[in-house]
Amino acid sequence: MPRSVREPRGRDMKAKTLMIQGTASAVGKSLLTTALCRRYRRAGRRVAPFKAQNISLNAAVTPCGCEIGRAQAEQAAAAGVVPTPQMNPLLLKPEGEGQLQMVVMGHAVDRAVAAAYLEQRDRLRQVVSAAIAQLRAEYELVIIEGAGSPAEINLREGDIVNMDLALRQRSPVLIVGDIDRGGVFASFVGTLVLLSEAERQLVRGFLVNKFRGDQTLLRPGLDQLEALTARPVLGVMPHIGESGLPDEDGVALERSEYRVADAGQVEIAVIRLPRISNFDEFAPLVAMPAVRLNYVDRPAALASADLVILPGSKGTLNDLRWLRERGLAQALAERAARQLPILGICGGCQMLGMRIDDSLGVEGGRPASVAGLNLLPIETQFVADKRTVQLRARIVRPSFLGSSQLGELEGYLIHHGRIRLSGCETPVPLLFETCGAQLPEGDGASSADGAVVGTMIHGLFENAALRRYVVHNLAERRGLAVSAEVDGWDRQAIYERLADIAERAIDFERLDAIIAAG
């Protein structure tokens, strides 16, 4: 690594930066940033991730109780640092009908339609600038992730996350393209053409992502691209497939295909709600060889599932209405009558209850109070204050989800809805007891026969003991013999694998020189 990259920083020095932009959404920017964070950590650098603005319903809760994009939390973990709101100062959570919940520096502060959000871009640009300034004062290197494509010329005026940020930080830019979807060379050249001259000067190279096959067949195209653009191709990343890490947004769900479980696999069906949120928590299950996880939206798809999960939602009342319109509510009721396992998480837990009261219009729609699916003995009241907290808990009521023998489990809360036992004014623990700080609301519930379980706690499947318990329990119900002891999901091992792949694929000598030159 060049000396100028590693030399000690004085108090008045700013961290070096590298910005990862893409030719489109879902080309692999987040995964590449994660790989780079781990690679530079292994190289002895104190590195931090940064994304000015996320539009995503997959969120994480930091130790300080702030809400940020799941991708930045993963990148911070890969870098071996504590995630903070400075790493993702703006998180926009779509609520449907053109509305967004704005999370600024980790806290939900407002709701806005797209036009109103654009009117605030100057104020929000200041928030972004302050956040990255703090990171650059505390770290040696900041890996900045862009959003979508920098060549969306209709959005240029409101840009605060791509080239506008690169210009303000004078950051070198690496553009990533997905060759698996086709047209990658045209995308590289077209992106460069649509940038201004000042923006083009910051683009220092390209990276081809998701390549399958013999790289020697790609060489003529790479040579022509370099000749046309006068910029190097710094690497060709292979097609990784399922990385084991959660996706940043719902684009991956649009590409998911239903597949029948193989012999010996348990089948888990996650209902693909229109406003599904925090589906990132199912990534550990996807990585288990003993599991086939499908995202489904038809009643018939529930029939063969060993477990149906009703996930979190950013529009609980609207998604509850959708369940009824699609016939899924009836299918869930029939499943419960047959004592077949159903798990509701957060919004899904609330829908399984007896009533949801949003008389304050917290979810952004008209104030309403509606009947739930009547499968759990709970009621939900939406309040303005959003609960975001990490926690440790222990199961006190055994079910297919686990027992007290699992010990302490880690998870997090992120919701406006407070649940309580139906008919009781005081919320009480129904499924879990928290370890440490007590929470003034219910945590979950189960039906009398134990077939239906709901919890307000996200992230439980990241606990190896719990996910293995669940898979073994489901397998035993069908008389299957599965091995879940080695379940294929280890967060640190995934980071290491990504860094190894990047080391082999990227010319880090040239990339380090680009970072050092700034």
Which residues belong to the active site? 346, 458
Question: b/e map of 119-152 (b: 16 or more CB within 10 Å)?
Answer: eebeebbebbbebbeebbeebbbbbbbbbbbbbe
**C-alpha count within 13 angstroms, C-beta hemisphere, residue 171:** 29
Nearest partner of 143 among 45, 57, 241, 250, judged by Cα: 45
Question: What DSSP string runs through 111-161?
Answer: EEEHHHHHHTHHHHHHHHHHHHHHHHHH-SEEEEE--S-TT-GGGGGG-SS
**C-alpha count within 13 angstroms, C-beta hemisphere, residue 142:** 28
The number of beta carbons lying within 10 Å of the beta carbon of residue 404 is 12
Dist. CA 282–CA 478, nearest whole Å: 22
Using DSSP's 3-state secondary structure scheme, residue 323 falls into: helix
**Phi, psi for 487 (deg, rounded to 5):** -100, 0
Query: Do residues 417 and 356 make contact, with C-beta atoms less than 8 angstroms apart?
Result: yes
Dist. CA 243–CA 284, nearest whole Å: 10
**Phi, psi for 482 (deg, rounded to 5):** -120, 155
How wide is the angle at C-alpha 12 spanned by C-alphas 6 and 13, nearest 5°? Answer: 30
The number of beta carbons lying within 10 Å of the beta carbon of residue 87 is 29
Helix extents (H) in 256-315 = 283-286
Query: Do residues 354 and 376 make contact, with C-beta atoms less than 8 angstroms apart?
Result: yes
Q: Which residues pair with 368 in a beta bridge?
A: 358
Dist. CA 53–CA 128, nearest whole Å: 8
**Phi, psi for 420 (deg, rounded to 5):** -150, 160
* DSSP character at residue 343: E
What does the chain come to in residues?
518
Longest alpha-carbon distance in the chain: 73
